[in-house]
Each structure stands twice: as C-alpha cells, then as structure tokens.
Structure 1
Amino acid sequence: MSDDFDFRLREAAMDWLAVRTNDGTDPIRSDELADFHFEGARFRLMDAQRGIRKPKELSAALSIRTVYSPDGASRPYKDEMGDDGLIRYKWRGDDPYHSENRALRSAMEQELPLIWFFGVGVATYQPIYPVYLVAEEHDEHQFVIVHDALRGLVTASAHVEERLREYVMAESKRRLHQPVFRATVMRAYGTQCAVCALRHGQLLDAAHIVADSEEAGIPVVRNGLALCKIHHAAYDARILGIRPDLTVEIRSDLLIEVDGPMLEYGLKERHGQRLMVVPKARSEKPDPEMLLQSYERFLTAS
C-alpha cells in the first residue's frame, strides 16, 4: 500500500477516536472499536490477541496495547516512566527480530504516529494518541515513547537538564497517567460523584486522595475518588474531609456559616453522611491509610 493510504488511515482512525471518546477524555470498549470503518470497509484498530497491531496493508505498526490489571496485579509487559520522564513500551518477548518488534521499529524509523490503547477495565481502553517511538533500548528490550506534545523536544537520555526533565515528567503524567487514572476511577465509581452521586461525567473529576505531587500519591484507583467539581474543590481546599470509614465531614467553621443553597445542601447536608457511591470491588475501594493521611490534614485545617 502507498504512503498516502497509511497517512489517510491513521488520520481517519484518530479522527474517529476523537469523536467516540470526547477528544480522548472517555474510554472505549473493545466491542465499540469494531464500529470503525475505513473507505467503506471495517478495519481493526487493535489486535484482540496481540499487544501490537500491524495490519497487512501497512509497513509498520498502527497501534499498541497495554492490558488492564487490577491494582496490585502485574502486567505481562511492564510499561514505566524512566528517570528522564519518558515512557517505555516493552518488546514482544526477547527476540528483537520478532515480527511485532520489527513493526514497531519500522514505525519509529518512519516517524509514524501510533495509537496506544491502555487498559482501564475488562475489555475497556483509554486511547492515547498520537504517540511516537523516538528510541529503542536494546538492553532493556523496550522502546521509548513520547506524546505528540513532546515530540522533537527531547530524546531518550539519562542526562536531561533538570528543569526540562521536570517539565517532561509533568507532561508525560498529564498526557498518559491522568487520562488513564481518570478513566479507571470513573469506571470504578460508575461515573458518579462519591459524595453526592451526580452522574454527569463532564462535571466530574478523578481526584487523588493523596496528591500526585507526593511520593504516596500514585495514580491507582485505590488512591482515587470520583468527585463532582464542587466537592473536588472542597476536598482539595480541606473544606470537606473523608474519614477512613468513608464518612464525610465538613470543616467546623463552614457548619455555622450562613450562605446560599450550595453551602446548605451541597456541603453542610453531607456532614456526617457516608459516601453515596463506592466501588463494588474490594480491590478498588479507597485505601484506608491514604484516606487517613488526607483526613489528618483536613483536621489541621478545621
């Protein structure tokens, strides 16, 4: 197939995903991916059995996949951020000449955009796109990935200037970790606010129990809460606290304050009440130790 076919296919696939996922905000189920058609024919964007999708019509990989694993379970291929702030994607197996590794290498050499389907639930994926492979680390059996926003800014290196490294890390978290964290938390909470059960996804955030700026603030669902924007802001401002037993508290000075209906019904009325929504799976419920760490800070502001 021609380079023009490759370009049109990738562009059409990413445009379609933008529509189906609200510009990459929402996850997509694997069965929904079957709806994609290109030039009148159904075309698979993700390989159901393999981590790397290389269509026979193309000379290089089109997409990569990271399977979902519940918190605490290890993935068969561990994809992590390096010291330089860049993300790594593991080879298929140990053979550098495996057809799938060669397909990734070809995408890197041609500087082609890829779609990364990151598992956030059973048969549910958060698409991250476009991403590019910018280097290969043979000894570690992995490729180095950057989001389009970082393309051309850095290459894989252990000697990145500190301020640039901090920026790259922040961007990598924002472009990959945050969408994946949000999608995982929203799925676990059924796209409802834990405090008030509001269901409108556009008004909900995935809040960290322990801030992601702290060492313990890892982007996993047990360190997350689905909160509406009001309750998220109140939680971060230490106006609202959540005890390890999942009981909501409102800061004492707010309880005696007289204001409008939002304070009265949106905050004060929730004082002493249990969270209205919690994940069903025990492995996804809020971590009590993380809640305690956050609650103790709430008490210092009360």
Structure 2
Amino acid sequence: MADAAFDSRLRSAAAQWLTERSQIHQELVTRDELEEFVFEGARIPLIDRQRGIRKPAILDAALSIKTTFTKPGQPPPYEDREGPDGLLRYKYRGSDPDHPENVALRKAHEWNLPLFWFVGIAPGVFLPRYPVWLVGDERKDLQFVVALDEAQRMIQPRSVIDEERRRYVERLTKLRLHQPVFRARVLKAYATQCAICQLRHRSLLDAAHIIPDGLPQGEPVVPNGLALCKIHHAAFDENILGIRPDHVVEVRPDIRKEVDGPMLRHGIQDMHGRRIGLPSERSARPDRDRLEVRYETFRSAA
C-alpha cells in the first residue's frame, strides 16, 4: 500500500487537475476522463464504473464518492439527505457497515482525508465537488455525515444547533452543492444554450427557476428550470418577459412600446412571440403546471 505522502500527493494532483479544467469553463467531467487520470506515470481512475465508492488498490482509504444520475421524476437508488444538524448524509454501500467500501470510507473519516464527490449530471457526466470531508459515521442509519467546506467541519453531527446557525449551514449546502448541481443539470438538458435566444457562451448562462426557490414547487429540479442568458434571466425574474405554458415568449406591453438602444430592440422586444427551445429529453422539459403559475405572476405584473 502507498504511504501517507503518496496519498496526499495524489489527492492534491487530482484536485489541481479538476481546478484547471474548471478555469477554462469545463466544470463537467466525463466518466472516461476520470477513468484515464494519470499520476506519476500510473493510471489511477478517480471513479469506479460499478461502485459509488472509489478506493484504488494502492490506497488504504477511499478517494471519492459518487451520486448516480437519475432522470427527472425517477427516485435515486440512494437518497442522500440533510440531517437535523443541516449536514448532508451519504449512504453506506449496502447494509453491512463492515463492507470493504464502507471500511475504506471509514478510514478516510478517521484520518480526516479530503474526498472528491462526483455528482451525476447526465449518463456518464459528473459535476465534481471537492474537497469534502466525512465528519461522522452513523452506523445505525447506515450513513456517513458529509461536510462540504471548512465551516461545516466545525459542526458536531447530530448536535442541537439554533435556527440561525442551521440556516447558515443549509445556505452553505445550497451554495456548494444544490445550486451548482441544479445549474449543471439544467444547462446540460438545454444543450448549454439560452432557451430564448440560443446564446451558447456557458459563462453567460444561468439556470433560472420557474417557481422561485423557497416557494411551493420551487425545488431545484430540472422541470423547474430554464437555461437563460443573464439578460433574459433578469428580464424573466423582473417580469419584463414571460413564458406561456405553450412555450411562447411574451414581452410586457409597456416594454414593447419603449424606444431605447439595440439591446432592448433586438435582445428583448424581438423575442415577443418566439417559441423557446426545449430539452430533447421529455422528462427534462419545463413542467406545465409550474409555467402556468409563473405566467399568471407575469400577467399580474403586466
């Protein structure tokens, strides 16, 4: 087995490789790329094709965990949820706490080793979250407790925390996991282009909620999302434009009468009556009920 220094160098090199990818707007990584990672002349896959927990034979502790992609509306094989302390849980492999993969994760927990979390965005495509740490081992519930950053590592699992601190922990989880995963899944579903104007510059695209976060039906799921460029996202949020349940764009009447520069004319006014682009996967298309609710909000503003 490798010594601690080799383990540390491997994790650092993998993190640097993933960071360099993200800096050129390649935030997603494929299974093939993860399987071909090379370190110090040797191929050391960062992910396991068949298993959710990856422990290379050369290491004593787990290197990464994986959340498998499931289509919108389908239940995932394992449900990773937040506990009463606001921290996320990652389920064991199976029901045996002493399964070798669970033992490998337990060692990562006991030795305070950073892990990579690869979250499925589409079949064979993942959004990396790193570093993450295991800060608790809940054998009775067959799960580990996950911290997504240094601040969450300070929370004692299952501890009683006040409402303000819980909201802080949950906000970190949104920023570090839920929002990036929602954005990645929505952009992937819409082929990385604005549903209204087809702009394809990833850095200028957002995942817009149809029903705002925090309201009933406002969950961060793809059928509640639209890939929009930043201009059209802001216009949608401000009810400058709306999207009918039949997927046709409407621009507010008073905005259509305004006289301004070319951005208003070509970027907003010319979008009136245009049909939005839709994901090829039917299960990823905007939910009609949510569109109806959101469109009524737009009509009220108009």
Aligned length: 301
Query: Do residues 21 (structure 1) and 25 (structure 2) align?
Result: no
Q: Does 1:292 align with 2:284?
A: no
Give the counterpart letter for 2:165 in structure 1: L
**Segment drifting more, 63-72 vs 147-156:** 147-156
| 2:59 alignment partner in structure 1 | 58
Root mean square deviation, CA, Å: 1.4
CA–CA distance in 1 between the matches of 2:215 and 2:87? 19
After TM superposition, the score normalised by the length of structure 1 is: 0.96
- Report 1:155-234 matches (<5 A): 155-157=156-158, 159-234=160-235
- Residue 90 of structure 2 aligns with which residue? 89
Q: Give secondary structure in 2 for the equivalent of 1:207.
A: strand
Q: Quote the offset at 1:179 in angstroms.
A: 1.3
The answer (yes or no) to whether the contact 1:84–1:169 under 8 Å persists in 2 is no
3-state secondary structure, aligned to 2:133: strand
Post-superposition shift, 1:251?
1.4
Assess if the C-alpha contact under 8 Å between 2:25 and 2:202 holds in 1.
Answer: no
CA distance in structure 2 between the aligned counterparts of 1:19 and 1:31, rounded to whole angstroms: 18
For the residues of structure 1 that align with 2:64 and 2:23, how far apart are their CA atoms? 19
Partner residue of 2:41? 40
In structure 1, the partner of 2:241 is: 240
CA contact (8 A) 2:87 2:152 kept: no
**Cα distance per residue 1:109-147 (max 9 Å; x no partner):** 111100001111011111111000111222221111111
CA distance in 1, matches of 2:84, 2:261: 49
Change (3 A) 1:130 1:25: farther
- Contact 1:210–1:294 (8 Å) recurs in 2: yes
**SS across alignment from 2:20:** helix
The 8 Å contact of residues 24 and 127 in structure 1, kept in 2 or not, is answered as no
Counterpart of 1:152? 153
Question: What is aligned with 1:109?
Answer: 110
Runs of 4+ in 1 over 6 A off after TM superposition: none
Gap change, CA 1:24 and 1:74, over 3 Å in 2: farther
| Cα distance between partner residues in 1 of 2:285 and 2:263 | 28
**What are the superposed Cα offsets for residues 259-278 of structure 1, whole Å, 9 maximum, x if unpaired?**
11111010011112111x21
The Cα of 1:83 is off from its aligned counterpart by 3.4
Cα deviation, 1:64-114, whole Å, max 9, x if unaligned, reads 011100011112111122233211100000001000111111111111100
Out of 257-266 and 12-21, give the one that drifted further: 12-21
Instruction: Report the Cα offset of residue 295 of structure 1.
Output: 1.1
Q: Judge conservation of contact 1:209–1:225 (CA < 8 Å) in 2.
A: yes
Letter in 2 for 1:155: Q
Secondary structure (helix, strand or coil) at the match of 1:21 reads helix
Query: 2-side partners of 1:118 and 1:130: how far apart?
Result: 13
Cα 1:132–1:23, aligned 2, differ >3 Å: closer, same or farther? Answer: farther
> How far is the alpha carbon of 1:149 from its aligned partner?
4.1
- Mapped to 1, the partners of 2:137 and 2:36 lie a distance apart of 33
Structure 1 window deviating more from structure 2 (22-31 vs 92-101): it is 22-31
Q: CA 1:143–1:242 in 2, change beyond 3 Å: closer, same or farther?
A: same
2-side partners of 1:257 and 1:194: how far apart?
24
How high is the sequence identity, in percent, across the aligned residues?
52
Asked if 2 retains the 8 angstrom alpha-carbon contact of 1:17 and 1:23, the reply is no
Letter in 2 for 1:234: A
Unaligned residue ranges in structure 1 (runs of 5+) = none
Shift of 1:22: 3.4
Q: 1:153, CA displacement in angstroms?
A: 2.9
Match of 2:11 in 1: 10
TM-score, normalization by structure 2? 0.96
For the 8 Å contact 1:205–1:229, the answer to whether it is kept is yes
Change in CA separation of 1:183 and 1:214 when aligned onto 2, cut-off 3 Å: same
Question: CA distance change for structure 1 residues 25 and 89 in 2, over 3 Å: closer, same or farther?
Answer: farther
- Shifted more, 24-33 versus 259-268: the winner is 24-33
How far apart, CA to CA, are the structure 2 residues paired with 1:81 and 1:300? 36
Matches within 5 A, 1:121-136: 121-136=122-137
Q: Distance in 1 between matches of 2:25 and 2:108?
A: 22
